[in-house]
């Protein structure tokens, strides 16, 4: 009987430490903020950016970059 109780407590303890208990906050914030910042800086080909002149959202592959700004068409580049 005591062996069964100890076994159940051991299983509960393992589940608690593996799934429920969280790591210290200082450990999570440092690594999470750095990886999120790196991911947000890197734009991929299917990401949408806003045209600096008209405000239309266009995929990165279809934009025109001038003076480090994104434009949707040559007309918007001329207006700027």
- SS3 letters for 15-67? HHHHHHCCCCHHHHHHHHHHHHHHHHHCCCCCCEEECCCCCCEEEHHHCEEEC
User: Residue 57: its pLDDT value, please?
Assistant: 92
Task: Indicate whether 77 pLDDT > 70.
Answer: yes
pLDDT in tens, 19-42: 877 666 555 555 555 555 555 567
So where are the chain's domains? 1-42, 43-80
User: Residue 11: its pLDDT value, please?
Assistant: 93
The confidence band for 80, taking pLDDT boundaries of 50, 70 and 90, is confident
What would be the CATH architecture of the domain defined by 43-80? 2-Layer Sandwich (3.30)
User: Helix, strand or coil for residue 73?
Assistant: coil
Instruction: Tell me the pTM.
Output: 0.46
CB 70 within 8 A of CB 63: yes
């Amino acid at each position: 009987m005591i062996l069964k109780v100890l076994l159940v407590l051991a299983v509960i303890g393992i589940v608690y430490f593996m799934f429920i208990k969280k790591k210290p906050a200082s450990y999570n914030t440092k690594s999470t903020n750095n990886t999120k910042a790196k991911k947000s800086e890197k734009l991929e080909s299917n990401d949408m950016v806003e045209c600096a002149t008209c405000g239309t959202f266009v995929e990165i592959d279809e934009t025109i970059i001038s003076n480090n700004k994104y434009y949707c068409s040559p007309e918007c580049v001329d207006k700027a």
